[in-house]
């Protein structure tokens, strides 16, 4: 019992070995699996973690982590909102049945044309991060004859203990400073502009956050700022506070649970509502936590080579299908299926790319006993920031994606790309069909 609770806490999705092999025969390897039940569990975990907040809590799924339409549909059906950063993501959401009025649109570039497009598509909540971007939004809203609800993305410049931190300058604005690009100036402009409705503030501190203190520090700074601005703009009201993403995922090392992250933050948020006398609602964004643990990458062992005490195991996958293993040396929990006996060798898992970086980093507790040609090797918790990075390096096709429904049924959620499709996509058809420019 203790064991199973622990496994559950770590979000370890279990799929019977015979199913993994059956799907491998049917689809070829590698392939990904996305599990509906785990997606729902993760969403419930987040809802529970923030349930003591005294206003409404909106969970917004960050589409950039994984935009597979089957996965989007699960979140749409279960009432989340969406954190969207491009018109292209918005297209995916709408085509999957999503509602643009439940979108928080946070652009990186904040272009004039982009804002026109998304406002015409029905987006209502827009997060601005620069003065020029706000001017673009004002022009776009006048052209579209709509009154968007605007949030200001602040960069609270607090210390963040996390794998990936939001960098200064590129994202958000400081509260104050010498340039126009400050929260103070954005707020003044929004309040002077009748086409816009100010609704609140947004920050996103980083991804895979290991210590919730950064949220508390950010809220302290925000409180001071709002109190000060209230003197200048007496009818200033915060209706929404968006605390961004960052809830961490189990990758082989213990991390705080959503409740560990949320509990102190919620207490502080409730205090803040009373102190400021503003009954704001809360938006919690999450990409990684909501999507990662629901997904496996299943690959096959193609070859094995012994070199001293080490056993090099060659897989039919590589960082073209798990980019973060190269980009940020992300460790994923990995298993050989079925497990075998210890043989005394230290396993080195290598990918199929001609590239020294294409060696998978392994956690200290990884055991890959009995790994041999033909067996499956499963990378776990890969649902976030992996299949969205698939690339055709070495003329490799995109793998299939399997969706496991809550009732245990497996359905195809993305076809394995054919080599011919890839050839044409890369310009192969233009060889015979010149396009004069
Ligand atoms: C990427 C991103 C998120 C999601 O972060 P996770 O660590 O995946 O939860 C949320 N909000 C914004 C603005 C982001 O850019």
pLDDT computed for residue 425 by the predictor: 95
Q: Which CATH number fits the domain that encloses residue 99?
A: 3.20.20.10
Query: Has residue 437 been placed in a domain?
Result: no
Q: What is the mean pLDDT of each run of 10 residues along the chain (437 residues)?
A: 41 86 98 98 98 98 98 98 98 98 98 98 98 98 97 94 85 96 98 95 96 96 97 97 97 94 96 97 98 97 97 98 95 95 93 96 90 97 96 97 97 98 96 91
**What are the pocket residues of ligand 1 if the criterion is a CB atom closer than 6 Å to any ligand atom?**
62, 64-65, 83, 106, 204, 207, 244-247, 285-289, 384
Q: Which of 208, 244, 328, 385 to mutate to test the pocket of ligand 1 (most atoms within 8 A of CB)?
A: 244
Number of continuous H segments (helices) and E segments (strands) in the chain: 13, 18
**Cα gap 328→157, rounded to integer Å:** 23
User: Which are the contacts of 316, defined by CB distance < 8 A and separation ≥ 6?
Assistant: 29, 30, 299, 300, 302, 352
Question: Looking at the structure, do residues 225 and 324 belong to the same domain, yes or no?
Answer: no
pLDDT computed for residue 5 by the predictor: 40
Query: Has residue 301 been placed in a domain?
Result: yes
What residue owns the CA closest to ligand 1's atom 15? 204
Question: Looking at the structure, do residues 194 and 259 belong to the same domain, yes or no?
Answer: yes
Q: How many domains does the chain have?
A: 2
Query: Has residue 12 been placed in a domain?
Result: no
Question: Looking at the structure, do residues 325 and 191 belong to the same domain, yes or no?
Answer: no
Question: Looking at the structure, do residues 234 and 281 belong to the same domain, yes or no?
Answer: yes
Q: Which residue has the tokens 């643009």?
A: 100
**Cα gap 116→141, rounded to integer Å:** 7
Query: Has residue 340 been placed in a domain?
Result: yes
Q: Which of 254, 269, 288 is the last residue of a domain?
A: 288
Of 38, 108, 29, residue with least CA distance to 66:
38
Ligand 1: distance of its center to the CA of 401 in Å?
23
pTM (two decimals): 0.95
User: Of all atoms in ligand 1, which is nearest to the CA of residue 289?
Assistant: 9
Question: Looking at the structure, do residues 206 and 85 belong to the same domain, yes or no?
Answer: yes
Question: Looking at the structure, do residues 54 and 117 belong to the same domain, yes or no?
Answer: yes
pLDDT computed for residue 243 by the predictor: 98
Q: Which of 219, 253, 288 is the last residue of a domain?
A: 288
pLDDT computed for residue 8 by the predictor: 45
User: Of all atoms in ligand 1, which is nearest to the CA of residue 285?
Assistant: 10
Residue 236 sits in which domain range?
31-288
Q: Which of 242, 269, 288 is the last residue of a domain?
A: 288
**Cα gap 428→309, rounded to integer Å:** 45
What residue owns the CA closest to ligand 1's atom 10? 245
Question: Looking at the structure, do residues 306 and 261 belong to the same domain, yes or no?
Answer: no
User: Of all atoms in ligand 1, which is nearest to the CA of residue 288?
Assistant: 8
pLDDT computed for residue 194 by the predictor: 87
Question: Looking at the structure, do residues 128 and 196 belong to the same domain, yes or no?
Answer: yes
pLDDT computed for residue 14 by the predictor: 87
Question: Looking at the structure, do residues 385 and 274 belong to the same domain, yes or no?
Answer: no
pLDDT computed for residue 249 by the predictor: 96
**Cα gap 138→132, rounded to integer Å:** 10
Question: Looking at the structure, do residues 338 and 233 belong to the same domain, yes or no?
Answer: no
User: Of all atoms in ligand 1, which is nearest to the CA of residue 166?
Assistant: 15
Question: Looking at the structure, do residues 266 and 214 belong to the same domain, yes or no?
Answer: yes
Question: Looking at the structure, do residues 280 and 304 belong to the same domain, yes or no?
Answer: no
Query: Has residue 414 been placed in a domain?
Result: yes
Q: Which CATH number fits the domain that encloses residue 317?
A: 2.40.37.10
């Amino acid at each position: 019992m203790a064991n199973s609770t622990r496994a559950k806490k770590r979000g370890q999705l279990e799929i019977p070995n015979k199913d993994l092999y059956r799907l491998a025969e049917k689809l070829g390897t590698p392939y990904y699996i996305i599990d509906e039940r785990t997606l729902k569990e993760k969403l419930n975990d987040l809802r529970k973690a923030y349930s003591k907040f005294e206003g409404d809590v909106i969970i917004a799924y960050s589409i950039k982590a994984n935009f597979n339409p089957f996965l989007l549909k699960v979140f749409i059906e279960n009432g989340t909102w969406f954190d969207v950063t491009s018109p292209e993501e918005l297209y995916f959401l709408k085509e999957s049945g999503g509602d643009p009025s439940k979108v928080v649109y946070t652009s990186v570039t904040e272009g004039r044309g982009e804002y026109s497009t998304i406002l015409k598509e029905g987006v209502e909540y827009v997060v601005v991060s620069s003065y020029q971007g706000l001017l673009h939004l004002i022009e776009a809203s006048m052209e579209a004859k709509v009154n968007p609800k605007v949030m200001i993305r602040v960069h609270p410049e607090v210390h963040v203990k996390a794998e990936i931190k939001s960098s200064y300058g590129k994202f958000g604005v400081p509260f104050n400073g010498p340039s126009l690009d400050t929260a103070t100036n954005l707020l003044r402009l929004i309040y002077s502009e009748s086409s816009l409705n100010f609704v609140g503030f947004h920050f996103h501190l980083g991804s895979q956050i290991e210590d919730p203190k950064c949220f508390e520090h950010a809220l302290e700074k925000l409180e001071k700022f709002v109190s000060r601005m209230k003197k200048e703009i007496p009818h200033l009201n915060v209706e929404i506070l968006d605390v961004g993403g960052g809830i961490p995922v189990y990758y082989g090392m213990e991390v705080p649970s959503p409740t560990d992250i949320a509990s102190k933050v919620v207490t502080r948020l409730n205090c803040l509502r009373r102190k400021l006398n503003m009954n704001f609602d809360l938006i919690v964004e999450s990409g990684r936590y909501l999507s990662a643990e629901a997904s496996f990458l299943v690959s096959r062992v193609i070859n094995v080579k012994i070199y001293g005490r080490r056993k090099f195991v060659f897989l039919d996958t590589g960082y073209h299908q798990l980019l973060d293993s190269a980009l940020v040396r992300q460790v994923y929990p990995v298993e050989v299926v079925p497990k075998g006996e210890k043989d005394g060798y230290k396993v080195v898992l290598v990918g199929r790319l001609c590239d020294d970086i294409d060696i998978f980093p392994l956690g200290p507790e990884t055991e890959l006993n009995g790994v041999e040609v033909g067996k499956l090797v499963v990378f776990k918790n890969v649902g976030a920031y992996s299949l969205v990075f698939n690339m055709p390096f070495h003329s490799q096709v995109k793998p299939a994606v399997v969706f496991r429904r809550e009732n245990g049924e497996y359905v195809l959620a993305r076809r394995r790309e054919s080599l011919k499709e890839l050839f044409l996509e890369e310009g192969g058809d233009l060889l015979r069909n010149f396009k004069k420019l």
